[in-house]
Structure 1
Amino acid sequence: MNKLAEMHCFVVTVDTGSISEAARRLGTAKSVVSQRIRQLEKRLGIILFDRGRQVSPTEAGKVFYQHCVRILADVEHAEEAILTFTSELSGNLRLSAPMAFSSRYLTQILSSFALRYPSLRLDIEYDDRYVNLQEENFDAAIRIGELPDSSLVARSIAGNRHLICASPGYIATYGAPQTPEELAEHHALLYVHREPHGMWALPVGNLTESFRVRSRMRTNNGFQLLEGAKAGMGLAILPTFLAVDAIVAGELQIVLTSHEPRGGNISLVYRQSQRTSPKLEALSNFLIEQIGSPPIWEQQLTAYLETVS
């Protein structure tokens, strides 16, 4: 048995936690996967899996898994390097992306990217949590906001401007806050990934200060935040890519314009080992090309604000 094939079989089994699921993904029989794992353990002279209701790697298996992932990635990168001499990209590209931005823009862009490179197989998972690229075997992730310091490489795709918004109906009933201190008297809608403790972090001069708001709703869904604000439930901090259509339609108004929350960037992040990946280079260039500079939603917002100023 080819060592690389054994490693691939082993890695897929660890990733899925199931010999049956590994066989399905590999397009082979469960007995074949079991046989390959036994042969690998025999050749190495060590047990790689604890076999129970769910197949899980032993401590030795975890160490071997990390090495296998790196080796298989190096092999794929070597093949990709050759592809730089052609116009074609192929192989797999596993990507994690946030839900709201993807639903609004990224799904269409990635479909166009797939059409441009028909030999490239995309595996995309949409989730607002920060996945572990190494442990969960992702090639890259789209991340939104200010990034923590890490060993990952980050390429900025676009800015991520945030606005504080409320519906005309809410403002007619409760008024618009004129200072951040007045937020304590207002209802607010909270995005749990950004505001888990019910505080809004806003710039005041050169500093960032925290302000308590009266939580009317908490959610991990950007579209729920948007719809709640449009319905008049309270103030909400929204990224412009999500809020622009409602602002242009008159369903939302911008308040506290002198205290726009910092939103960081929309970035493509990946491991240091994939710095030279032609697939990731092609993806990041395509995203920048399609989103524009400034981003298409900022162009739309600027054009609208010029008409009402």
Structure 2
Amino acid sequence: MNKLCEMQSFVMVVDTGSITEAARQLGTAKSMVSQRIAQLEKRLGSIVLERGRQARLTEAGEVFYRYCVRILSEVEEAEDAVLAFQSSLRGSLRLAAPMAFSIRYLTPILSSFAVRYPELRLDIEFDDRHVNLHEERYDAAIRIGELPDSSLVAKTITANRHIICASPDYLAAHGTPQTPQELSEHSAMLYVNREPHGMWTLPVNNGLESFRVRCRMRTNNGHQLMEAAKAGMGLAILPTFLAAQAIVDGELQEVLAPYAPRGGNISAVYRRSQRASPKLQALTDFLCEQIGSPPLWEQLLAAHSAG
């Protein structure tokens, strides 16, 4: 059996924690993954995985895993180097992307990208958590917001503007806040990935200050924040890529515009070793082309304001 197939299956089992999930992500049968691991251990003469509720590495497995990750990465880089000489992209591209942005914008764009490059196989995972590109075998991830310093390369796709908003009915019933200090008198929805302590951090006088709000709902889903705001439950901080259409339709209204929190950027991030990858270059160029500058949702808001 092909050694690289065995190594790929082994690494995927370690990264996902189970043979079942590894088989799902590899697009093969669970029995095939089990067979590859068994063949690998037989060839090595050593147990590399302890089977159980969750597959765990043995001491020998930890050593072998580190080598496998490096070897598979180098094989992928070698293939990319050859593909750079060809006009058509081939192979696979594994991408992680956030849920809220993907549902509204990224899914049709990635479908068009796949059509443009029919020989390129896309493997896309939608999840708001920050995946580990080094350990989880992703080629790239789409990240939204301020990026921490890291060893990853970041390519900015567009700015990610945030606004504070509420439904017209909520504002009619409870008043429109004029200063951040009035937020303590208002109900609000919190995005737990950004506001785990129940405070909103807003720019005030060239600095940042934190303000407590009356928590009406906590969620890790941007669409839930928006729907709660549209339903009149309170104030919400939303990215304009989510809120734009609701504002145009009169379902939401921006408040406290001078104190809108920073949203960072929408970026594609990838490992430094893949900086010259033609697949990633094609992906980032296509995203920039399709999203536009200014992005589609900001064009929608500008047209609404002008009208």
TM-score bin, normalised by smaller chain: over 0.9
Shift of 1:7: 2.3
The CA deviation string for residues 272-301 of structure 1, in whole angstroms up to 9 with x for no partner, is 121111111111111000000110101111
Rounded to whole Å, the distance in 1 between the matches of 2:53 and 2:205 is 57
The CA deviation string for residues 133-163 of structure 1, in whole angstroms up to 9 with x for no partner, is 1222111111100011111111111100000
Larger mean CA deviation between 226-235 and 62-71 belongs to: 62-71
Rounded to whole Å, the distance in 2 between the matches of 1:21 and 1:171 is 47
TM-score scaled to structure 1, two decimals?
Answer: 0.92
Shift of 1:23: 6.3
Letter in 1 for 2:121: R
Matched residue SS, 1:154: strand
Gaps of 5+ in 2: none
Matched residue SS, 1:209: strand
Check conservation: 2:157, 2:265, Cα contact below 8 A.
yes
Identify if the C-alpha distance between structure 1 residues 165 and 69 changes in structure 2 by more than 3 Å, giving closer, same or farther: same
Look up the match of 2:157.
157
Rounded to whole Å, the distance in 1 between the matches of 2:21 and 2:194 is 35
Look up the match of 1:281.
281
Look up the match of 2:257.
257
Check conservation: 1:157, 1:284, Cα contact below 8 A.
yes
Larger mean CA deviation between 50-59 and 24-33 belongs to: 24-33
Check conservation: 1:47, 1:58, Cα contact below 8 A.
yes
Matching of residues 54-65 of structure 1 within 5 Å: 54-65=54-65
Matching of residues 1-309 of structure 1 within 5 Å: 3-19=3-19, 25=26, 27=28, 30=32, 32-42=35-45, 46-307=46-307
Check conservation: 2:94, 2:139, Cα contact below 8 A.
yes
Check conservation: 2:9, 2:37, Cα contact below 8 A.
no
Rounded to whole Å, the distance in 1 between the matches of 2:76 and 2:147 is 28
Letter in 1 for 2:149: D
The CA deviation string for residues 223-249 of structure 1, in whole angstroms up to 9 with x for no partner, is 111011111110110100000001001
Matched residue SS, 1:94: strand
Identify if the C-alpha distance between structure 1 residues 21 and 220 changes in structure 2 by more than 3 Å, giving closer, same or farther: closer
TM-score scaled to structure 2, two decimals?
Answer: 0.93
CA RMSD in angstroms, aligned pairs only: 1.9
Shift of 1:69: 1.6
Rounded to whole Å, the distance in 1 between the matches of 2:185 and 2:23 is 58
The CA deviation string for residues 9-48 of structure 1, in whole angstroms up to 9 with x for no partner, is 4323434545566567474754742442223322xxx432
Gaps of 5+ in 1: none
Check conservation: 1:19, 1:33, Cα contact below 8 A.
no
Identify if the C-alpha distance between structure 1 residues 40 and 19 changes in structure 2 by more than 3 Å, giving closer, same or farther: farther
Rounded to whole Å, the distance in 2 between the matches of 1:188 and 1:54 is 39
How many pairs does the alignment contain?
304
Shift of 1:63: 3.1
Matched residue SS, 1:229: helix
